[in-house]
Amino acid sequence: MSLKGDWDGGREHAVHHAAWALGLRIPKNLDWLGDMAVVTTQSPIMWRRLAYQVARMPQKENHYDFRSWSHIGEPRETEDNVRAYLSKANGYVIGYLAAHDAGRHRPWDLVHSSRYGDEDNTSRPSIDLVWVADAYRRQGVGATLVQALADDFGCQVTDVSWSTPVSDAGRHLARRVSPKGIWVN
């Protein structure tokens, strides 16, 4: 209820809760073909602002200090190819995956107390964060986002790396898409 303010009669909280549950409405002046979009740090500002707005949802939900997408200034290339994947349904952004490319990874079999394996320096796409609107969770949206990342990079889903720490929900998704284990960085 930290978003509830006396000055707005709780409207800000209600709007945030609806966005968390159903996703964020896509601006009417944004042309979006298909169900998936890849936003880079060089994409038009409308796309980067949308990724920035969507990045607020997991920030608030998980009490992070900062958003996982902050590239709303001048378009610029990043060394690690920062990008966001947005999934849409019914005029709303319902899924978000923040990613970059990384070159240091260790295999992990996803068992809580297991150690990581030996370091591997292969360049891989790395998941920084995945968020899905509440009404669409456990329906394959997260797996579709991970598959889009793998396809975009040109690798198998099992070759995707995950930034640590991996949350409980993240481990569940990782087991679903890569049951024999994942790469972590």
Q: Which residues contact 19 (CB under 8 A, 6 or more apart)?
A: 25, 57, 133
The answer to whether the beta carbons of residues 150 and 157 sit under 8 Å apart is yes
pLDDT tens string 93-102: 999 999 999 9
156 domain residue, yes or no: yes
pLDDT tens string 123-134: 999 999 999 999
88 domain residue, yes or no: yes
pLDDT tens string 58-92: 887 777 778 888 999 999 999 999 999 999 999 99
pLDDT of residue 16: 64
Q: How many other β-carbons are positioned within 10 Å of the β-carbon of residue 30?
A: 12
Q: What is the pTM of this model?
A: 0.89
CA 68 – CA 98 distance, rounded (Å): 7
40 domain residue, yes or no: yes
Is residue 1 scored above 50 in pLDDT?
no
Q: How many domains does the chain have?
A: 1
Domain that holds residue 71: 6-184
pLDDT of residue 128: 96
101 domain residue, yes or no: yes
Grade residue 17 by pLDDT with cuts at 50, 70 and 90. low
155 domain residue, yes or no: yes
Grade residue 5 by pLDDT with cuts at 50, 70 and 90. low
Q: Which residues contact 30 (CB under 8 A, 6 or more apart)?
A: 46, 47, 50
1 domain residue, yes or no: no
What CATH number does residue 29 fall under?
3.40.630.30
